[in-house]
Amino acid sequence: YTGAQFARQILPYVQAIPVSSAGRPLLGPAVRSSTGRVSQLSVAGENVSGRDFRGALQLPSTNFTWRFEGEQVVFTVRGHGHGVGLCQYGADGMARAGKTAGEIIDFYYTDVTVKSLQR
């Protein structure tokens, strides 16, 4: 994003935002969850939730980092926002290779038992 693009996207979530960081941090340090996802960050001095920020910029996940390159903000995003630890593409590849649902679950999750529920 250029500074102007960034400001337009995030403006509804903060009182006012400068187009450049002149004198104060445009993006402050992020508070991260135990899984590394951004739960809160400072945007031009205003606290914004990671979910609101993600939504404003249409990022696929709250697992993101950023860096400044000149007058641009570059975001690196990991995952697609599910936050449950199962890669859909990986699970699909395993299924196509003949793995069972149980084998796929065992691969992605430890100490999990799959059971039928009786109604």
Mean pLDDT by groups of 10 residues along the chain of 119 residues: 70 55 69 89 83 85 85 80 73 93 88 83
Degrees, nearest 5: CA angle 119-112-104: 100
Place of tokens 């939730």: 49
**Rounded CA separation 34/87 (Å):** 19
Give the residue among 25, 73, 27, 33 at the shortest CA–CA distance from 51. Answer: 33
Q: In the chain, at which residue ranges do the beta strands (DSSP E only) sit?
A: 27-32, 38-43, 46-49, 64-69, 72-77
**Rounded CA separation 23/78 (Å):** 30
